[in-house]
Structure 1
Amino acid sequence: MTDTVPDTDRPGGAPPPDTPLPRRKLVFAVVGLALLMFSLDGTSVAIAITTISGDLGADLAWTGWVITGAAVGQILALPLGGWLSDRFGGRRMFLAGVALFTLTSGLSALSPSIGALIACRLVQGLAGGIMLPAANGVVAHQFGHDRDRALALFTSVFPIGAILGPLVGGLVLTTWSWHGIFLVNVPLGVVLLAFGLALVDDPPHRGAGRVDVVGIGLLVLTLLATMLTITRLGSSGSGTGSGVLLTALAAVVAVLAGVAFVLHSRRRPDPVVPVRLLAGRGLGIMNITNVVFGAVVIGFSATLPLYAQVRYEMAAFVAGALLTGRAIGTIAASGASVALLRRAGFRPLLLVGLGATAAGLVVTAVPPPFGDPATWLFLGSTVLGLGGGLAAPAANNAAMHLVPDQVAAVSGLRTMFRQMGGIAAVSVMTAVITASGDPGRAGGITFAVLAGLMVVAGVFVARVPNQRGRW
């Protein structure tokens, strides 16, 4: 626990340096609303894919890149967002991310072709990837020794967006058009910019320094080649001769670029991503855990409706509604996790959460021993949500308390690893289900495999030293 010196022992009665700042709740509201805007955008756009395809005269394969492009941009920017915040200031990067996201939302609404829309969405993803790590750094600075609880509360923002996004997207699409899904971000973004300029203080940062151009290039090449390999593994054309060659070539490039990046980072005194953030002091275990956690949560959300339809022949609406259980469970358990974090420490909550998440996957994987399949799958979804709600705030703090002076960088890497795990899970699980002669049974096996990976991650997490109280 952080010790504080009484105000009377400081010159002029100045508060301790880790004291929460007066406007922290207003700043949290601004930053939280920005995160909610980003979350809503990601889930509401999915509702309009078929409408966008018809209106712009594009096939669904290309239109799907309206979602994929934003995800790619976000993953590329996330590890750079923390570095940029550390060099140029969290306030500046947060406001730049909001401004760029707002601008590209307006341009997306005005896009005359699918190519222009995909380009705008790629930049939107970049803006979000810059904004998210900076937002964590801003909140950590504002809340001082209470930053653990404030950062843990961020966990509930994205599930709220996951619930509201399809509803907002459907409402706008019904009463207006797909253009409106992007346009609603513009006035909200302008308001956030105005309040951000007035309220947000700049966290301490190092200054610009020399730009690690080589490190950035190697990092981007590693991420692009890795994502291409993952998506090719889940592609229907990857089994052909040319498909296998392309997948193998992408994998080789990813490995070589990754090794070169690590070697470069070890030699350079001030790299874009220090090696110690990837593997040092328990961070390596947490990074691997975040890959598995992202694979479970994102993979489950993306494939549960498909699984329910192919195994139990459920209607699309009922299959999609099953995810409500996960969202509600996550929001409810996140509050309990935040309340217990200081008393129990992150490790017990993380272990219980990972165990509950694995249990939810097992329930989903096996046929219902009683009741109808919809009730049984809703139960599995809710248990998984409860586990995720307990684990996510604890996992956030587990990594960040190890390097409290680099909150933005660690939060960017954490989200990047979760997103990459999610992309891998969605690609592989979808390919397995669609290629199997018994897709329902194949889906159940994939959920069981994810449960096993979660248990293995829990074994390694048990080795990370616990942290109670403030950090």
Structure 2
Amino acid sequence: MIDHRSIDTNDEMPLTEVKKIAWILVLGALAPMLDSTMANIAVNHLASDFKSGIDLIQWVITGYVLSMAVAVPFTGWLTNQFDGKKIFILSEILFLLGSIGSAIAPDLHMLIAARLLQGFSAGLITPLLTSLLMSLAGKNAGQLMATVGLPMVIGPILGPVIGALIIEYMSWRWIFWINVPVVIIALTLIWWKLPHFPARDEGAHLDFVGVMLTSSASAFLIYGITKAAKAANLLNYDTVVFAGIGLGLIIIYIIWAAYRKTAAVLPLSLFTHRSFNASSIGLFMVGLIVNGPMLVLPLFFQNGRHMTIVAAGLSLIPQGIGMLVARPMIGKLTDKLGARYVVMFSLVMSLIGTLPFAFFNATSSMVLITIVLFIRGIGVGGVFMPLMTDAFTGLEKGDIAQATIGTRIIQNVGGAFGSAIVATAMANSMQNALSGMKSKIAAGAYHVSAQQMPAHIKALTAGFQMDAYHLAFWIAIVVSLLAFIPAMFLTNKVGQK
């Protein structure tokens, strides 16, 4: 039976009803979140099939991310103007078409075009999911965010695992075909079971200038940061130019938003709320705490421990299980205690689950690694959700859509920045170590015979590689410690009646 109800966001709904709505929306966001990481694993296979260079193939990944960034600022205006259910259905249909287009793409240009459509629709779905649910959350925001955040936290974990299995045993095209049944099931449930979310303010005008500025700023920043990861240099020409343009556009937007006040797509008044500011800083730092190690862990297993791509992907499953275990507990604790101590506890767990990787090597016990990954999963899952929840604390319901846009932009940029910092640090570490090794070889510093030298060089290179991985984990550890600072300014309900 089709649900014809319209949600009145001014009324408190029973938690059981809200959770039903949450799970339907989460199912709709699952494919986009998995797809954002599954495709990364197929880059080399795409290059082989399309007989193209990695620079062009990379746009299959980069285009998706940039298209997501461009779409995010439109969600606030769309929820003001149209029924939230209809926007969600349209976004799902666009993602479905993008998935089919990617799966049947006869050439690279069509694949990139289809991925742009996928990315744009995903950029609408993710903030829309958060915005609709937070408008109903009330005092149960933590538990709902635990549900809403599910695809966001398991996407980076399960995406590479599923992608690796598909690449190993099937065609890369199944990375996109697998979305089709998932999206069709989600569309069916949304159509039949999801109530309507009436337009919030049909008289609101689109802040076109603000949307263009925020979209362009985040796209330029992400692209510039991505170029830094590739060049292993934060000050390379492309990064300085594109990130510089992005920062310039942010300054222009601040001036524009000061003029537009509450009519701006992202009002500056949001930044007068302490919890929003603390959450935003924390979410940016989580980009490095999560994305940095997620970049390194598959390399650690494949190169450091000589595992196959499938075995490396499967080795990450304990981290995903840790996230799933933490999810319901973290949500309830956030509603009861506030975000401050939940985030602090989760940061401690994240540190416990990351610190050993700064010492693990090729011979470390896999049982111990599995336990540590499980603990890390609990910590990472517990950091993200309370931060997202607290970003909305103290805001009026009319500000939720704009706050969602702000937090999503910050997450996107923070995630790209985290990957770039780690990739740059590892590359520089390797370059410096290899350069030093070459100098020592030329100086005859290694007392090794000519026959033994190749094996000696191979062993030294493996050691340098492991040192680079250790450095990446140390960076995540330091950032985790620094994240305690914004955590201190989050909401605290302990001792309050």
Normalising by the smaller structure, the TM-score range is: 0.7 to 0.9
Change beyond 3 A, Cα 1:351–1:404: farther
Structure 1 residues 312 and 180 mapped into 2: Cα distance closer, same or farther (>3 Å)?
Answer: closer
**Preserved contact between residue 82 and residue 130 of structure 1 (Cα < 8 Å):** no
Q: Does the alignment pair 1:218 with 2:213? A: yes
**Partner residue of 1:85 out of 55, 79, 82:** 79
Q: Which AA in structure 1 matches 2:130?
A: N
Alpha-carbon separation, structure 2, partners of 1:15 and 1:272: 21
**1:256-297 deviation line (CA, Å, top 9, x unaligned):** 211111111111030111113346333222111101112211
In the alignment, the residues of structure 2 paired with residue 32 and residue 19 of structure 1 have an alpha-carbon distance, to the nearest angstrom, of 18
Report the CA distance shift for 1:143/1:170 in structure 2 as closer, same or farther (over 3 A).
Answer: same
Residue 323 of structure 1 is aligned with which of 311, 316, 333?
316
Q: 1:363–1:376: 8 Å Cα contact kept in structure 2?
A: no
* Cα distance in 2 between the residues matched to 1:16 and 1:245: 51
Task: Give the drift of 1:173.
Answer: 5.3
Alignment of 1:439-450 (within 5 A): 439-450=465-476
Judging changes above 3 Å, is the alpha-carbon distance between structure 1 residues 202 and 449 closer, same or farther for their aligned structure 2 residues? same
442-451 vs 283-292, greater mean Cα deviation:
442-451
Q: What residue number does 1:366 align with?
A: 359
Q: Say yes or no: does 1:354 pair with 2:347.
A: yes
For 1:453-464, what aligned pairs fall within 5 Å after superposition? 453-464=479-490
Contact 2:232–2:424 at 8 Å: present in 1 too? no
Distance 1:350 1:404, change over 3 A: farther
Change (3 A) 1:310 1:404: farther
Give the whole-Å Cα distance in 1 for the aligned partners of 2:495 and 2:53.
54
Displacement of 1:54 = 2.6
How far apart are residue 23 of structure 1 and its match? 5.1
Name which of 46, 49, 65 aligns with 2:59. Answer: 65
User: Once the 2 structures are TM-superposed, how far is the Cα of residue 384 of structure 1 from its aligned partner?
Assistant: 1.9
**SS of equivalent to 2:200:** coil
Q: For residues 38 and 237 of structure 1, do their structure 2 counterparts lie closer, same or farther at Cα, with a shift above 3 Å needed?
A: closer
Structure with greater Cα Rg:
2
> Equivalences for 1:57-456 in 2 at 5 Å?
57-141=51-135, 145-162=139-156, 164-166=158-160, 168-169=162-163, 177-198=171-192, 199-203=194-198, 205-236=200-231, 244-269=236-261, 270-278=263-271, 280-311=273-304, 316-367=309-360, 372=364, 374-405=366-397, 406-435=399-428, 436=430, 437=433, 438-456=464-482
Find the residue that maps to 1:268 and give its secondary structure.
helix
**How far apart are 1:117 and its partner, in Å?**
0.8
Contact 2:24 2:189 in 1 (8 A): yes
C-alpha separation in 2, matches of 1:363 and 1:208: 55
Deviation at 1:172, TM superposition (A): 5.2
**Alpha-carbon distance between aligned partners in 1 of 2:227 and 2:38, rounded to the nearest angstrom:** 26
Distance 1:295 1:79, change over 3 A: farther
One-letter code aligned to 1:150: L
Q: Does the C-alpha gap of structure 1 residues 216 and 161 become closer, same or farther in structure 2, counting only changes over 3 Å?
A: closer
Contact kept, 8 Å, 1:91 with 1:134, in 2: the verdict is no
Report the Cα distance in structure 2 between the residues aligned to 1:237 and 1:453, rounded to whole angstroms.
20
Please list every run of 5 or more consecutive structure 2 residues that lacks an aligned counterpart in the other structure.
1-7, 434-463
Q: Secondary structure at the match of 1:450?
A: helix
Amino acid in structure 1 at the alignment position of 2:492: N
**What SS does the aligned partner of 2:173 have?**
helix
Using the TM superposition, give the Cα deviation of residue 131 of structure 1 relative to its aligned residue in structure 2, in angstroms: 1.1
> For residues 134-153 of structure 1, what are the alpha-carbon distances to aligned partners after superposition, in whole Å with 9 as ceiling and x for unaligned?
12233334555544422222
Instruction: Provide structure 1 residue ranges, at least 5 long, that are not aligned to the other structure.
Output: 1-13
User: Per the alignment, in what secondary structure is the counterpart of residue 465 of structure 1?
Assistant: coil
- CA distance in 2 between counterparts of 1:235 and 1:172 reads 26
Letter of the 2:417 partner, please give it: A
Q: String of CA shifts for 1:61-117, please: whole Å, max 9, x gaps.
A: 322332222122222322432343234343232222112111111111222211221
The question of whether the paired residues in 2 share the 8 Å contact of 1:299 and 1:423 is answered with no
With over 3 angstroms needed to count, the CA separation of the structure-2 counterparts of 1:266 and 1:190, relative to structure 1, is: same
Q: 1:170 to 1:257 in 2, by over 3 A?
A: closer
SS of the equivalent of 2:56 reads helix
> Residue 46 of structure 1 contacts residue 67 of structure 1 at CA under 8 Å; is this kept in 2?
yes
Partner of 1:7: none
Residues 1:220 and 1:143: Cα distance change in structure 2 (over 3 Å): closer
Alignment RMSD: 3.1
Letter in 2 for 1:424: F
CA deviation digits over 1:241-266, x for unaligned, max 9? xx834332223322221111111111
How far apart are 1:461 and its partner, in Å? 1.6
In the TM superposition, residue 195 of structure 1 has moved relative to its aligned partner by 3.1
Amino acid at match of 1:408: A
Give the AA of the match of 1:213. F
Q: Which moved more, 1:203-212 or 1:423-432?
A: 203-212
Question: Which moved further from structure 2: 338-347 or 402-411?
Answer: 402-411
Which whole-Å deviations, capped at 9, do the CAs of 1:397-443 have from their partners, x for residues lacking one?
11122325133333343233223222112223223323422232232
Deviates more, 1:80-89 or 1:28-37: 80-89
Checking the alignment, whether the CA contact within 8 Å between 2:99 and 2:179 is kept in structure 1 is yes
Return the letter of the residue paired with 1:411.
T
Residue 118 of structure 1: CA displacement?
A: 1.3
Query: Which amino acid is 1:226 matched to?
Result: L
* Distance in structure 2 (CA, Å) of the matches to 1:317 and 1:92: 39
